[in-house]
Amino acid sequence: MFILSKILLFLLNPLFWICLAFLLSWIIKKPVWKKRLRITAVILLLIFSNPFLINKVLTDFETPKHQIAENEKYTVGILLGGFVGFDSKGEGYFNEASERVIQSLRLYKTGHIQKILMSGGSGTLLRQEFREADFTRDQLIKMGVNPADILIDRNSRNTYENAVYSKQILDSLGLTAPYLLITSAWHMPRATAVFRKAGLNIQPFPCDYKHSITSDPEDFIVPSATAMGRWSMVLKEWMGILVYKMTGKA
């Protein structure tokens, strides 16, 4: 399932579709199909590179912000991986989704969560020795988190495994629910469904929002590579939700 998800992720990239349409237009001999494929490629490029369209999709799709009350407290904040990368030397670094760890640290420091469960192993097919949970644990300790308050799941590779392994850890320790689930707003719809299906009583705490409440005039007409990347992200989430409904795993 893990390898299949990586293949699907590649196939769900709009840039792949555009390049494939252009490539086929050069290979196919019939002029009518050449024209249709090139028109299709241009239309796809205009749609998926438009910032306004993807912003509207994300506005509707991302989970609304949870305004945490002053006296709202949880035994555990479950921090989902996806915010760490590794360079060619194996050195870890925080990527653009790192607001997940920033918010987790803030919630811990302000007393809203007592412990942080970091769930994330290796999300790559190769270099399995680099585990996101290990790197994050070291960084949290350097940031002042008590090592005794850090729980780690270093084996999960996807959202389904995040939920399964997190439940095993929490059940074994007998920590009181509900738990605060911390992940990106665009990932939260799928994560919420998977964690609740696994039997975990969670309160979603979305962060790392990608949509904007306003649009600039150029968003309507100026193509953007960022927009195309965000479409790939959303398509992955939609497919993940569909696969989860069909198989119970995502």
Residues 108-163 have pLDDT tens digits of 999 999 999 999 987 665 566 688 999 999 999 999 999 999 999 999 989 999 99
Kindly report, residue by residue over 13-31, the tens digit of the pLDDT.
899 999 999 999 999 999 9
Q: Average pLDDT in the 229-246 region?
A: 88
- What structural domains and CATH numbers belong to the chain? 2-62+224-247 (no CATH), 74-207 (3.40.50.620)
Contact 91, 100 (CB under 8 A): no
Helix 225-247 with 2-11: angle, nearest 10 deg: 140
117: left (phi over 0), alpha (psi -120 to 50) or beta: beta
Contact 82, 162 (CB under 8 A): no
Name the burial class of residue 249, with classes exposed (0-12), middle (13-18) and buried (19+) by CB atoms within 10 angstroms of its CB: middle
Output the average pLDDT for the chain: 91
d(CA 82, CA 184): 9
Take residue 203 and report the two structure tokens written for it.
Answer: 């309160």
Contact 124, 5 (CB under 8 A): no
**First-last CA distance in the chain:** 8
